[in-house]
Amino acid sequence: MKLLTLLEQTGHSILNQEELGSAEITGIDANSAKIKPGCLFVAISGFERDGHDYIQDAINKGAAAVVGEKDLTDLPVPYVRVANSRDTLANLAAHFYDYPSRKHIMIGITGTNGKTTTSFMLRHILQQAGYSCALFGTVHNVINGQAYVSKNTTPDPLELQRLLAESRDDAVIMEVSSHGLSQKRLEGIEFDVGLFTNLAHEHLDYHNTIEEYFEVKQQLFSKLKQGGKAIISTHDEWGQKLAGLLKERNIQVSTFGRSPMDDLVFTSENDVHCSNFEVTENGEKFRFSMSIPGLHNIYNASMAYLTGRKIGIDSAKLIEGFRTFKGIPGRFEMYSHQKDATAVIDYAHTADAFEYILKTARDCGAKRIFHVFGFRGDRDESKRTEMMEISSRMSDCSILTFDDLNGVEQNEMIDELKAYLQSSGKEADMLMPDRTLAIQKAWELAEAGDWILVTGKGSEKYKDQYELPAGSDQETFRLLLNEKETVAT
Protein backbone atom coordinates (compact mmCIF):
# COMPACT_ATOMS: atom_id res chain seq x y z
CA MET A 1 0.00 0.00 0.00
CA LYS A 2 1.27 3.48 -0.85
CA LEU A 3 2.16 5.61 2.17
CA LEU A 4 -0.01 8.47 0.94
CA THR A 5 -3.00 6.10 0.66
CA LEU A 6 -2.39 4.78 4.16
CA LEU A 7 -2.28 8.30 5.56
CA GLU A 8 -5.54 9.43 3.97
CA GLN A 9 -7.62 9.02 7.12
CA THR A 10 -4.97 10.37 9.50
CA GLY A 11 -4.53 14.00 10.55
CA HIS A 12 -0.79 14.59 10.12
CA SER A 13 2.07 16.91 9.22
CA ILE A 14 4.74 15.71 6.81
CA LEU A 15 8.09 17.02 8.00
CA ASN A 16 10.28 15.07 5.58
CA GLN A 17 8.72 14.54 2.14
CA GLU A 18 11.62 12.73 0.53
CA GLU A 19 10.20 9.99 -1.76
CA LEU A 20 6.83 10.31 -0.01
CA GLY A 21 4.76 9.66 -3.10
CA SER A 22 6.64 6.51 -4.05
CA ALA A 23 7.00 5.02 -0.57
CA GLU A 24 5.42 1.54 -0.56
CA ILE A 25 4.38 0.16 2.82
CA THR A 26 4.42 -3.62 3.28
CA GLY A 27 3.63 -3.72 7.00
CA ILE A 28 3.29 -1.68 10.21
CA ASP A 29 4.92 -2.09 13.60
CA ALA A 30 5.64 -0.13 16.78
CA ASN A 31 8.46 -2.47 17.82
CA SER A 32 11.73 -1.63 16.06
CA ALA A 33 12.98 -5.20 16.64
CA LYS A 34 10.19 -6.53 14.40
CA ILE A 35 10.69 -4.08 11.54
CA LYS A 36 11.35 -5.59 8.12
CA PRO A 37 12.24 -3.80 4.86
CA GLY A 38 9.27 -1.79 3.64
CA CYS A 39 7.55 -1.47 7.02
CA LEU A 40 6.14 1.70 8.52
CA PHE A 41 7.54 2.28 12.02
CA VAL A 42 5.25 4.06 14.48
CA ALA A 43 7.15 5.62 17.39
CA ILE A 44 5.03 5.62 20.56
CA SER A 45 5.91 7.30 23.83
CA GLY A 46 5.20 4.36 26.13
CA PHE A 47 4.91 4.03 29.89
CA GLU A 48 8.47 2.71 30.26
CA ARG A 49 10.17 3.40 26.92
CA ASP A 50 9.97 6.06 24.23
CA GLY A 51 9.67 4.65 20.72
CA HIS A 52 11.31 7.78 19.31
CA ASP A 53 14.59 6.52 20.78
CA TYR A 54 14.38 3.51 18.46
CA ILE A 55 13.72 5.31 15.18
CA GLN A 56 17.27 4.90 13.91
CA ASP A 57 17.20 1.20 14.77
CA ALA A 58 14.00 0.83 12.74
CA ILE A 59 15.54 2.67 9.79
CA ASN A 60 18.63 0.46 9.96
CA LYS A 61 16.32 -2.57 9.70
CA GLY A 62 14.68 -1.19 6.56
CA ALA A 63 11.76 0.97 7.69
CA ALA A 64 10.35 2.74 4.62
CA ALA A 65 8.85 5.59 6.66
CA VAL A 66 8.32 6.70 10.27
CA VAL A 67 5.35 8.12 12.19
CA GLY A 68 5.96 9.96 15.45
CA GLU A 69 4.95 12.86 17.67
CA LYS A 70 8.19 14.85 17.78
CA ASP A 71 9.56 17.43 15.34
CA LEU A 72 12.23 15.54 13.39
CA THR A 73 13.52 16.80 10.04
CA ASP A 74 16.84 15.05 9.47
CA LEU A 75 15.74 11.47 8.79
CA PRO A 76 16.69 9.66 5.55
CA VAL A 77 13.12 8.34 5.11
CA PRO A 78 9.74 10.09 5.05
CA TYR A 79 8.68 11.20 8.54
CA VAL A 80 5.08 12.00 9.47
CA ARG A 81 4.31 13.87 12.67
CA VAL A 82 0.98 13.24 14.40
CA ALA A 83 -0.61 14.45 17.63
CA ASN A 84 -1.02 10.98 19.15
CA SER A 85 1.02 8.03 17.86
CA ARG A 86 -0.93 5.45 19.85
CA ASP A 87 -4.25 6.62 18.41
CA THR A 88 -2.73 6.84 14.93
CA LEU A 89 -1.30 3.30 15.11
CA ALA A 90 -4.74 1.79 15.64
CA ASN A 91 -6.28 3.79 12.79
CA LEU A 92 -3.38 2.99 10.45
CA ALA A 93 -3.76 -0.71 11.26
CA ALA A 94 -7.51 -0.57 10.51
CA HIS A 95 -6.84 1.17 7.18
CA PHE A 96 -3.98 -1.17 6.26
CA TYR A 97 -6.21 -4.24 6.79
CA ASP A 98 -9.20 -2.57 5.09
CA TYR A 99 -11.40 -2.15 8.18
CA PRO A 100 -12.08 -5.87 8.80
CA SER A 101 -14.58 -5.25 11.61
CA ARG A 102 -17.08 -4.17 8.95
CA LYS A 103 -17.33 -7.69 7.52
CA HIS A 104 -18.29 -9.35 10.83
CA ILE A 105 -21.10 -9.18 13.35
CA MET A 106 -19.02 -7.43 16.03
CA ILE A 107 -20.00 -7.85 19.68
CA GLY A 108 -18.02 -6.03 22.39
CA ILE A 109 -18.44 -6.76 26.11
CA THR A 110 -17.21 -4.37 28.80
CA GLY A 111 -17.67 -4.14 32.57
CA THR A 112 -15.68 -5.04 35.67
CA ASN A 113 -16.93 -8.59 36.22
CA GLY A 114 -18.54 -11.18 33.96
CA LYS A 115 -16.93 -10.33 30.61
CA THR A 116 -15.28 -13.72 30.14
CA THR A 117 -18.24 -15.82 31.25
CA THR A 118 -20.67 -13.79 29.15
CA SER A 119 -18.41 -14.06 26.10
CA PHE A 120 -18.07 -17.86 26.43
CA MET A 121 -21.81 -18.27 26.95
CA LEU A 122 -22.59 -16.04 23.99
CA ARG A 123 -20.16 -17.87 21.71
CA HIS A 124 -21.66 -21.22 22.69
CA ILE A 125 -25.28 -20.26 22.09
CA LEU A 126 -24.47 -18.52 18.79
CA GLN A 127 -22.59 -21.57 17.57
CA GLN A 128 -25.51 -23.78 18.59
CA ALA A 129 -27.71 -21.49 16.49
CA GLY A 130 -25.47 -22.00 13.44
CA TYR A 131 -23.06 -19.04 13.61
CA SER A 132 -19.29 -19.43 13.43
CA CYS A 133 -17.73 -17.25 16.14
CA ALA A 134 -14.32 -15.77 16.82
CA LEU A 135 -13.45 -14.91 20.41
CA PHE A 136 -11.02 -12.39 21.90
CA GLY A 137 -10.55 -12.42 25.65
CA THR A 138 -8.71 -13.20 28.85
CA VAL A 139 -8.58 -17.00 28.57
CA HIS A 140 -7.62 -17.28 24.90
CA ASN A 141 -8.35 -16.00 21.40
CA VAL A 142 -10.16 -18.20 18.88
CA ILE A 143 -10.03 -17.47 15.15
CA ASN A 144 -11.51 -19.78 12.50
CA GLY A 145 -11.86 -22.48 15.15
CA GLN A 146 -8.19 -22.30 16.17
CA ALA A 147 -7.30 -21.23 19.74
CA TYR A 148 -4.32 -18.95 20.41
CA VAL A 149 -2.67 -17.80 23.62
CA SER A 150 -4.08 -14.49 24.84
CA LYS A 151 -1.50 -11.94 26.03
CA ASN A 152 -4.02 -9.25 27.00
CA THR A 153 -7.77 -9.15 27.47
CA THR A 154 -7.89 -6.78 24.48
CA PRO A 155 -5.02 -7.40 22.00
CA ASP A 156 -2.77 -4.61 20.72
CA PRO A 157 -4.25 -2.87 17.64
CA LEU A 158 -1.91 -4.43 15.08
CA GLU A 159 -2.57 -7.98 16.24
CA LEU A 160 -6.27 -7.27 16.62
CA GLN A 161 -6.72 -5.88 13.11
CA ARG A 162 -4.61 -8.65 11.58
CA LEU A 163 -6.62 -11.38 13.29
CA LEU A 164 -9.92 -9.73 12.33
CA ALA A 165 -8.71 -9.66 8.72
CA GLU A 166 -7.77 -13.36 8.88
CA SER A 167 -11.07 -14.36 10.49
CA ARG A 168 -13.68 -15.99 8.28
CA ASP A 169 -16.10 -16.21 11.22
CA ASP A 170 -19.63 -14.85 11.01
CA ALA A 171 -19.41 -13.14 14.40
CA VAL A 172 -16.62 -11.80 16.59
CA ILE A 173 -17.12 -11.66 20.37
CA MET A 174 -14.61 -9.46 22.16
CA GLU A 175 -13.91 -8.68 25.80
CA VAL A 176 -13.24 -4.93 25.88
CA SER A 177 -11.03 -3.87 28.79
CA SER A 178 -10.73 -0.36 30.18
CA HIS A 179 -6.99 -0.50 29.46
CA GLY A 180 -7.72 -1.41 25.84
CA LEU A 181 -10.08 1.55 25.51
CA SER A 182 -7.85 4.09 27.23
CA GLN A 183 -4.79 2.94 25.27
CA LYS A 184 -6.67 3.32 21.97
CA ARG A 185 -6.35 -0.33 20.94
CA LEU A 186 -9.88 -0.32 19.51
CA GLU A 187 -9.69 2.76 17.29
CA GLY A 188 -10.95 1.90 13.80
CA ILE A 189 -13.16 -0.95 15.06
CA GLU A 190 -16.95 -0.71 14.77
CA PHE A 191 -19.37 -2.83 16.80
CA ASP A 192 -22.86 -4.04 16.01
CA VAL A 193 -23.64 -4.67 19.68
CA GLY A 194 -22.02 -3.38 22.86
CA LEU A 195 -22.65 -4.95 26.28
CA PHE A 196 -22.14 -3.46 29.76
CA THR A 197 -22.19 -5.99 32.60
CA ASN A 198 -21.48 -3.91 35.73
CA LEU A 199 -18.97 -1.58 37.35
CA ALA A 200 -17.13 -2.22 40.61
CA HIS A 201 -14.05 -1.00 42.46
CA GLU A 202 -11.13 -2.07 40.22
CA HIS A 203 -8.12 -0.61 38.38
CA LEU A 204 -8.24 2.63 40.37
CA ASP A 205 -4.44 2.57 40.47
CA TYR A 206 -4.73 3.22 36.73
CA HIS A 207 -7.93 5.25 36.38
CA ASN A 208 -7.67 7.22 39.67
CA THR A 209 -11.42 7.42 40.38
CA ILE A 210 -14.49 5.26 39.82
CA GLU A 211 -15.99 8.11 37.78
CA GLU A 212 -12.98 8.15 35.44
CA TYR A 213 -13.18 4.35 35.18
CA PHE A 214 -16.84 4.66 34.15
CA GLU A 215 -16.05 7.33 31.56
CA VAL A 216 -13.50 5.03 29.93
CA LYS A 217 -15.87 2.05 29.95
CA GLN A 218 -18.63 3.94 28.19
CA GLN A 219 -16.29 4.77 25.29
CA LEU A 220 -17.20 1.37 23.83
CA PHE A 221 -20.60 2.73 22.88
CA SER A 222 -19.11 5.54 20.79
CA LYS A 223 -17.76 2.78 18.53
CA LEU A 224 -21.12 1.33 17.50
CA LYS A 225 -21.94 1.01 13.83
CA GLN A 226 -24.84 3.00 12.38
CA GLY A 227 -27.89 1.40 13.99
CA GLY A 228 -25.75 -0.45 16.53
CA LYS A 229 -27.35 -1.69 19.75
CA ALA A 230 -26.43 -1.41 23.43
CA ILE A 231 -27.25 -4.18 25.94
CA ILE A 232 -27.07 -2.86 29.51
CA SER A 233 -27.42 -4.60 32.86
CA THR A 234 -29.22 -2.24 35.23
CA HIS A 235 -28.39 -4.10 38.45
CA ASP A 236 -26.09 -1.33 39.65
CA GLU A 237 -26.26 2.44 39.54
CA TRP A 238 -23.64 2.63 36.80
CA GLY A 239 -25.70 0.49 34.43
CA GLN A 240 -28.74 2.64 35.11
CA LYS A 241 -26.71 5.79 34.50
CA LEU A 242 -25.21 4.45 31.28
CA ALA A 243 -28.60 3.38 29.91
CA GLY A 244 -29.92 6.89 30.44
CA LEU A 245 -26.90 8.53 28.81
CA LEU A 246 -27.08 6.29 25.76
CA LYS A 247 -30.80 6.86 25.31
CA GLU A 248 -30.11 10.61 25.32
CA ARG A 249 -27.74 9.96 22.40
CA ASN A 250 -30.55 8.11 20.54
CA ILE A 251 -28.71 4.80 20.71
CA GLN A 252 -30.88 1.68 20.68
CA VAL A 253 -30.71 0.45 24.28
CA SER A 254 -32.02 -2.84 25.66
CA THR A 255 -31.78 -3.46 29.39
CA PHE A 256 -31.78 -6.47 31.70
CA GLY A 257 -32.67 -6.18 35.38
CA ARG A 258 -35.40 -6.57 37.98
CA SER A 259 -37.47 -3.52 37.04
CA PRO A 260 -40.68 -3.97 35.03
CA MET A 261 -39.29 -1.24 32.79
CA ASP A 262 -36.39 -3.45 31.67
CA ASP A 263 -36.60 -5.21 28.31
CA LEU A 264 -35.64 -8.52 29.90
CA VAL A 265 -36.85 -8.87 33.49
CA PHE A 266 -35.32 -11.32 35.95
CA THR A 267 -38.33 -13.02 37.54
CA SER A 268 -37.03 -15.76 39.81
CA GLU A 269 -34.27 -18.22 40.59
CA ASN A 270 -35.87 -21.57 41.19
CA ASP A 271 -32.67 -23.44 42.02
CA VAL A 272 -29.50 -21.37 42.34
CA HIS A 273 -27.34 -24.50 42.53
CA CYS A 274 -28.37 -25.63 39.06
CA SER A 275 -29.06 -22.11 37.81
CA ASN A 276 -32.66 -22.82 36.91
CA PHE A 277 -34.26 -19.42 36.53
CA GLU A 278 -37.01 -17.48 34.82
CA VAL A 279 -37.09 -14.21 32.87
CA THR A 280 -39.85 -12.23 31.22
CA GLU A 281 -39.51 -10.79 27.72
CA ASN A 282 -42.34 -8.78 26.16
CA GLY A 283 -44.76 -10.22 28.69
CA GLU A 284 -43.79 -13.84 27.96
CA LYS A 285 -41.98 -15.97 30.54
CA PHE A 286 -39.02 -18.17 29.66
CA ARG A 287 -37.33 -20.78 31.85
CA PHE A 288 -33.60 -21.51 31.66
CA SER A 289 -31.49 -24.37 32.96
CA MET A 290 -27.67 -24.39 33.18
CA SER A 291 -25.08 -26.61 34.82
CA ILE A 292 -23.08 -23.78 36.44
CA PRO A 293 -24.42 -22.21 39.66
CA GLY A 294 -24.63 -18.67 40.94
CA LEU A 295 -26.74 -15.55 40.66
CA HIS A 296 -23.85 -13.81 38.88
CA ASN A 297 -23.95 -16.50 36.20
CA ILE A 298 -27.70 -16.02 35.83
CA TYR A 299 -26.98 -12.35 35.14
CA ASN A 300 -24.27 -13.27 32.62
CA ALA A 301 -26.56 -15.75 30.88
CA SER A 302 -29.37 -13.21 30.67
CA MET A 303 -27.06 -10.68 29.03
CA ALA A 304 -25.94 -13.28 26.50
CA TYR A 305 -29.55 -14.30 25.83
CA LEU A 306 -30.68 -10.71 25.26
CA THR A 307 -27.79 -10.19 22.84
CA GLY A 308 -28.78 -13.28 20.88
CA ARG A 309 -32.35 -12.04 20.66
CA LYS A 310 -31.24 -8.63 19.39
CA ILE A 311 -29.29 -10.18 16.52
CA GLY A 312 -32.34 -12.21 15.52
CA ILE A 313 -32.04 -15.66 17.08
CA ASP A 314 -35.17 -17.52 18.20
CA SER A 315 -35.71 -17.85 21.97
CA ALA A 316 -36.04 -21.63 21.87
CA LYS A 317 -32.65 -22.05 20.16
CA LEU A 318 -30.95 -19.83 22.72
CA ILE A 319 -32.52 -21.59 25.71
CA GLU A 320 -31.48 -24.97 24.33
CA GLY A 321 -27.95 -23.62 23.86
CA PHE A 322 -27.70 -22.72 27.55
CA ARG A 323 -28.81 -26.21 28.54
CA THR A 324 -25.71 -27.67 26.85
CA PHE A 325 -23.24 -25.06 28.09
CA LYS A 326 -20.53 -26.76 30.17
CA GLY A 327 -18.64 -23.83 31.69
CA ILE A 328 -15.38 -21.89 31.34
CA PRO A 329 -11.81 -22.73 32.37
CA GLY A 330 -11.01 -20.95 35.62
CA ARG A 331 -14.49 -19.48 36.05
CA PHE A 332 -16.35 -21.26 38.86
CA GLU A 333 -14.52 -24.39 37.74
CA MET A 334 -15.51 -27.21 40.08
CA TYR A 335 -13.38 -30.16 41.20
CA SER A 336 -14.13 -33.27 43.24
CA HIS A 337 -12.53 -33.92 46.63
CA GLN A 338 -11.71 -37.20 48.38
CA LYS A 339 -13.86 -36.33 51.42
CA ASP A 340 -16.89 -35.21 49.39
CA ALA A 341 -16.09 -31.54 49.74
CA THR A 342 -16.45 -29.20 46.76
CA ALA A 343 -13.41 -27.36 45.36
CA VAL A 344 -13.75 -24.34 43.08
CA ILE A 345 -11.31 -22.18 41.11
CA ASP A 346 -12.50 -18.73 40.07
CA TYR A 347 -11.01 -15.53 38.70
CA ALA A 348 -12.86 -13.36 41.27
CA HIS A 349 -10.54 -10.51 42.24
CA THR A 350 -12.86 -7.71 43.36
CA ALA A 351 -15.02 -7.27 46.47
CA ASP A 352 -18.14 -7.48 44.32
CA ALA A 353 -17.02 -10.77 42.75
CA PHE A 354 -16.07 -12.16 46.18
CA GLU A 355 -19.56 -11.49 47.46
CA TYR A 356 -21.20 -13.28 44.53
CA ILE A 357 -19.00 -16.36 44.67
CA LEU A 358 -19.11 -16.73 48.45
CA LYS A 359 -22.88 -16.30 48.46
CA THR A 360 -23.16 -18.95 45.74
CA ALA A 361 -21.22 -21.46 47.84
CA ARG A 362 -23.44 -20.76 50.85
CA ASP A 363 -26.62 -20.96 48.75
CA CYS A 364 -25.43 -24.31 47.43
CA GLY A 365 -25.36 -25.65 51.00
CA ALA A 366 -21.72 -25.23 52.02
CA LYS A 367 -21.24 -26.28 55.66
CA ARG A 368 -17.94 -24.41 55.89
CA ILE A 369 -16.15 -22.24 53.35
CA PHE A 370 -12.35 -22.09 53.09
CA HIS A 371 -11.39 -19.10 50.96
CA VAL A 372 -7.84 -18.92 49.55
CA PHE A 373 -6.84 -15.64 47.90
CA GLY A 374 -4.14 -13.00 47.69
CA PHE A 375 -3.42 -9.50 46.45
CA ARG A 376 -1.35 -8.77 43.35
CA GLY A 377 1.79 -6.76 43.91
CA ASP A 378 1.99 -3.23 42.53
CA ARG A 379 -1.75 -3.16 41.80
CA ASP A 380 -4.77 -1.27 43.13
CA GLU A 381 -4.39 -1.35 46.92
CA SER A 382 -7.52 0.66 47.61
CA LYS A 383 -9.80 -2.36 47.04
CA ARG A 384 -7.98 -4.71 49.43
CA THR A 385 -9.66 -3.76 52.72
CA GLU A 386 -13.15 -4.37 51.34
CA MET A 387 -12.06 -7.67 49.78
CA MET A 388 -10.65 -8.83 53.12
CA GLU A 389 -13.75 -7.71 55.00
CA ILE A 390 -16.11 -9.62 52.69
CA SER A 391 -14.00 -12.78 52.73
CA SER A 392 -13.67 -12.73 56.50
CA ARG A 393 -17.39 -12.11 56.99
CA MET A 394 -18.74 -14.58 54.42
CA SER A 395 -16.27 -17.48 54.75
CA ASP A 396 -15.42 -19.64 57.76
CA CYS A 397 -11.68 -19.37 57.14
CA SER A 398 -9.79 -16.92 54.93
CA ILE A 399 -6.31 -18.08 53.97
CA LEU A 400 -4.27 -15.14 52.69
CA THR A 401 -1.53 -16.06 50.25
CA PHE A 402 0.55 -14.71 47.38
CA ASP A 403 -0.87 -13.80 44.01
CA ASP A 404 1.53 -12.43 41.37
CA LEU A 405 4.17 -10.37 43.19
CA ASN A 406 4.94 -8.26 40.10
CA GLY A 407 8.35 -7.25 41.44
CA VAL A 408 7.27 -6.57 45.04
CA GLU A 409 9.68 -8.13 47.56
CA GLN A 410 8.30 -11.21 49.34
CA ASN A 411 8.91 -9.80 52.83
CA GLU A 412 7.15 -6.57 51.89
CA MET A 413 4.10 -8.49 50.65
CA ILE A 414 4.09 -10.69 53.77
CA ASP A 415 4.03 -7.59 55.99
CA GLU A 416 1.12 -6.20 53.96
CA LEU A 417 -0.83 -9.45 54.23
CA LYS A 418 -0.21 -9.63 58.00
CA ALA A 419 -1.72 -6.17 58.39
CA TYR A 420 -4.88 -7.17 56.51
CA LEU A 421 -5.10 -10.42 58.45
CA GLN A 422 -4.91 -8.58 61.77
CA SER A 423 -7.72 -6.30 60.65
CA SER A 424 -10.04 -9.28 60.10
CA GLY A 425 -10.16 -10.04 63.84
CA LYS A 426 -11.10 -13.68 63.16
CA GLU A 427 -8.88 -16.30 64.74
CA ALA A 428 -9.64 -18.88 62.04
CA ASP A 429 -8.09 -16.71 59.31
CA MET A 430 -4.47 -17.48 58.50
CA LEU A 431 -1.47 -16.43 56.39
CA MET A 432 0.41 -18.85 54.12
CA PRO A 433 2.58 -17.02 51.55
CA ASP A 434 3.21 -20.09 49.35
CA ARG A 435 0.08 -20.30 47.20
CA THR A 436 0.30 -24.04 46.55
CA LEU A 437 0.72 -24.81 50.26
CA ALA A 438 -2.19 -22.51 51.11
CA ILE A 439 -4.39 -24.46 48.71
CA GLN A 440 -3.07 -27.71 50.14
CA LYS A 441 -3.96 -26.53 53.67
CA ALA A 442 -7.55 -25.77 52.68
CA TRP A 443 -7.71 -29.12 50.90
CA GLU A 444 -6.60 -30.96 54.04
CA LEU A 445 -8.96 -29.06 56.35
CA ALA A 446 -12.07 -29.64 54.24
CA GLU A 447 -14.58 -32.30 55.22
CA ALA A 448 -17.78 -33.58 53.65
CA GLY A 449 -20.09 -30.71 52.70
CA ASP A 450 -17.37 -28.05 52.93
CA TRP A 451 -16.37 -25.80 50.04
CA ILE A 452 -12.86 -24.67 49.04
CA LEU A 453 -12.81 -21.47 46.99
CA VAL A 454 -9.51 -20.44 45.40
CA THR A 455 -9.86 -17.06 43.74
CA GLY A 456 -7.86 -14.45 41.87
CA LYS A 457 -6.07 -16.28 39.08
CA GLY A 458 -8.60 -18.54 37.40
CA SER A 459 -6.83 -20.36 34.57
CA GLU A 460 -3.78 -18.06 34.60
CA LYS A 461 -0.31 -19.54 34.99
CA TYR A 462 1.72 -18.72 38.09
CA LYS A 463 4.38 -16.06 37.62
CA ASP A 464 6.22 -17.05 40.81
CA GLN A 465 7.73 -20.33 41.97
CA TYR A 466 6.07 -22.29 44.79
CA GLU A 467 6.75 -25.43 46.82
CA LEU A 468 4.45 -27.87 45.03
CA PRO A 469 5.30 -28.78 41.39
CA ALA A 470 2.34 -26.96 39.84
CA GLY A 471 2.11 -24.07 37.42
CA SER A 472 -1.45 -22.92 38.11
CA ASP A 473 -4.32 -23.29 40.57
CA GLN A 474 -5.79 -25.89 38.23
CA GLU A 475 -2.58 -27.93 38.28
CA THR A 476 -2.40 -27.65 42.06
CA PHE A 477 -5.93 -29.05 42.40
CA ARG A 478 -5.17 -31.89 40.01
CA LEU A 479 -1.95 -32.67 41.88
CA LEU A 480 -3.74 -32.81 45.24
CA LEU A 481 -6.57 -34.86 43.83
CA ASN A 482 -4.19 -37.39 42.24
CA GLU A 483 -2.04 -37.61 45.38
CA LYS A 484 -5.03 -38.30 47.60
CA GLU A 485 -6.44 -40.86 45.17
CA THR A 486 -3.07 -42.63 45.14
CA VAL A 487 -2.96 -42.70 48.95
CA ALA A 488 -6.53 -44.01 49.09
CA THR A 489 -5.71 -46.93 46.83
* Tens digit of each residue's pLDDT (9 = 90 or more) over 286-330: 999 888 888 889 999 999 999 999 999 999 999 999 999 999 999
Give, in order, the Cα–Cα distances in Å from 431 to each of 61, 142, 424, 439, 465: 52, 39, 12, 11, 18
Determine if residue 112 is labeled as part of a ligand binding site.
Answer: yes
Determine if residue 422 is labeled as part of a ligand binding site.
Answer: no
Determine if residue 385 is labeled as part of a ligand binding site.
Answer: no
- H/E element holding 4? helix 3-6
For residue 83, the model assigns a pLDDT of 87
Determine if residue 117 is labeled as part of a ligand binding site.
Answer: yes
Determine if residue 27 is labeled as part of a ligand binding site.
Answer: no
Rounded (10°) CA dihedral 329, 333, 338, 341: 170
- Residue 359 main-chain phi, psi, to 5 deg: -65, -40
β-partners of residue 125 are none
* pLDDT exceeds cutoff 80 at 47: no
* Tens digit of each residue's pLDDT (9 = 90 or more) over 111-130: 998 999 999 999 999 999 99
* pLDDT exceeds cutoff 70 at 179: yes
Determine if residue 183 is labeled as part of a ligand binding site.
Answer: yes
Instruction: Give the span between the Cα atoms of 168 and 190, in whole angstroms.
Output: 17
Rounded (10°) CA dihedral 11, 14, 19, 22: 10
* Tens digit of each residue's pLDDT (9 = 90 or more) over 382-422: 788 899 999 999 999 999 999 989 889 999 989 988 888 88
Q: 178 with 205: CB under 8 angstroms? A: no
Determine if residue 22 is labeled as part of a ligand binding site.
Answer: no
CB burial of 389-421 (b: ≥16 within 10 Å; e: otherwise) equals ebbbebbbbbbbbbbbbeebeeeebeebbeebb
* pLDDT exceeds cutoff 50 at 486: no
Catalogue all structural domains in the chain, each as residue range(s) with its CATH number.
Answer: 3-97 (3.40.1390.10), 100-324 (3.40.1190.10), 333-481 (3.90.190.20)
Per cent of the chain over pLDDT 90 is 70
Q: 257 with 235: CB under 8 angstroms? A: yes
Give the residue with greater pLDDT, 242 vs 427: 242
Determine if residue 116 is labeled as part of a ligand binding site.
Answer: yes
Instruction: Give this prediction's pTM.
Output: 0.88
Tally the C-alpha atoms within 13 A of residue 25's C-alpha that lie toward its C-beta: 25
Q: DSSP for 91-142?
A: HHHHHHTT-GGGGSEEEEEESSSSHHHHHHHHHHHHHHTT--EEEESSSEEE
* Tens digit of each residue's pLDDT (9 = 90 or more) over 257-271: 999 999 999 987 665
Determine if residue 154 is labeled as part of a ligand binding site.
Answer: yes
* pLDDT exceeds cutoff 80 at 274: no
Determine if residue 114 is labeled as part of a ligand binding site.
Answer: yes
For residue 183, the model assigns a pLDDT of 87
Average pLDDT, the chain: 90
How many CB atoms are closer than 10 A to CB 76? 10
For residue 325, the model assigns a pLDDT of 94
